[in-house]
Amino acid sequence: MTVTHPTARTTPASTRRPVGATVLAYVALTKPRIIETLLVTTVPTMFLAARGLPDPLLVVLTLVGGVLAAGSANTLNCYIDRDIDQVMHRTRNRPLATGALRPREALVFGLVLGVVAVTWFAVLVNRLSAVLALAAIAFYVLVYTMVLKRRTPQNIVWGGAAGCMQVLIGWAAATGRIDWAPVVLFMVIFLWTPPHYWPLSMRFEDDYAAAGVPMLPVVADDVVVARRVVAYSWAMVLASLALVPVAPTGVVYAASSLVLGAMFLLEAHRLLARARAGVVGKALNPMRLFHFSITYVSLLFVAVAVDPFVGGPLLHR
């Protein structure tokens, strides 16, 4: 479905744009705040893979490659979604929606970033990480953005798989292979994505409806959405506990996953209780869970990073 819209709200980009403003516009295309969330999972995964401190240079190289790859995917997403970005209040200040950059400039920038990212990983890290980076970009752009996002309310469920690739890339960078531990972490992020993103889309339901994007809150009532948030939250917590025997991890991670998981479940059930009580609008407060979900994943992966330095595994292989 393609959304019709007026032309960009500002004067089209010109050749006399201030250099600083142009640079900031290109940076905005990469969605830096989303990249931060992705990369916060990469370094702890490398600590777990190394069972201690990984090679600092390797960490830096992996982070730079991750920034390039995520920036490519996000830029291409902005290029494809520039029509709906103009319609949604939450996204109408993005560079293509305002006319700060031309679509062709964004397309070229996104493709160049992707080529540089894959080449970076292949030459400076290893081939497996390069393949995973390419897969992440392709899945986010071709599968999520071009196919799923505008066609199914399950868009964020399956599309979220692209954001999970950073843990696989981090592990592959540190070890040159994929083991069960990063697969478990992949599943944690995969199951975390819906209860992280659905509360946000509940808050901006009208935006998505106006743009013709069938996010779950657009096509289902609040109770149905909250029930699914609770279901995915339980699955996420169980997946996080599976890392204890698989990695194996020690008391720091085990305790952290239990406490953080209990707090996440409490917030998810509170959202469901408010929805069942008929609370609507701002009083429903879905953003409370959205904000906590960021805290949850950040602290959980801090525990992943710290755990190898504190004691031994709870369960020995």
Q: Quote the pLDDT of residue 36.
A: 82
pLDDT band at 315 (very low <50, low <70, confident <90, very high): low
pLDDT band at 280 (very low <50, low <70, confident <90, very high): confident
Mean pLDDT of the 238-250 span: 95
Mean pLDDT of the 74-86 span: 95
Mean pLDDT of the 179-206 span: 96
CATH fold for the domain made of 179-317: Four Helix Bundle (Hemerythrin (Met), subunit A) (1.20.120)
Q: Quote the pLDDT of residue 316.
A: 54
The pLDDT of residue 76 is above 80: yes
Q: Quote the pLDDT of residue 33.
A: 85
Q: Quote the pLDDT of residue 163.
A: 87
Count other Cβ atoms within 10 Å, centred on residue 131.
15
Chain-centre distance for alpha carbon 218: 21
Q: Taking the model in full, what pTM does it have?
A: 0.90
Q: At residue 316, what is the residue type?
A: H
pLDDT band at 39 (very low <50, low <70, confident <90, very high): confident
Distances in Å between the Cα of 263 and the Cα atoms of 219, 233, 257 are 28, 11, 10
Domain boundaries, the chain: 25-176, 179-317
The pLDDT of residue 10 is above 70: no
- Secondary structure of the chain in the HEC alphabet? CCCCCCCCCCCCCCCCCCHHHHHHHHHHHCCHHHHHHHHCCHHHHHHHHHCCCCCHHHHHHHHHHHHHHHHHHHHHHHHHCHHHHHHCCCCCCCHHHHCCCCHHHHHHHHHHHHHHHHHHHHHHHCHHHHHHHHHHHHHHHHHHHHHHCCCCCCHHHHHCHHHHHHHHHHHHHHHCCCCHHHHHHHHHHHHHHHHHHHHHHHHCHHHHHHHCCCCHHHHCCHHHHHHHHHHHHHHHHHHHHHHHHHCCCCHHHHHHHHHHHHHHHHHHHHHHHHHHCCCCHHHHCCHHHHHHHHHHHHHHHHHHHHHHHCCCCCCCC
Q: Quote the pLDDT of residue 15.
A: 53
The pLDDT of residue 55 is above 50: yes
The pLDDT of residue 2 is above 80: no
**CA-CA-CA-CA dihedral for 267, 271, 274, 277, to nearest 10:** -120
- Distance, in Å, from the CA atom of 313 to the CA atom of 244, rounded to the nearest integer, reads 8
pLDDT band at 5 (very low <50, low <70, confident <90, very high): very low
Token pair recorded at residue 121: 């990983």
What is the rounded average pLDDT for all residues in the chain?
Answer: 92
- Distance, in Å, from the CA atom of 120 to the CA atom of 130, rounded to the nearest integer, reads 8
Structurally, at CATH architecture level, domain 25-176 sits in: Orthogonal Bundle (1.10)
- Tell me the percentage of the chain whose pLDDT exceeds 90: 84
Of 14-18, 122-126, 187-191, 287-291, the range with the lowest mean pLDDT is 14-18
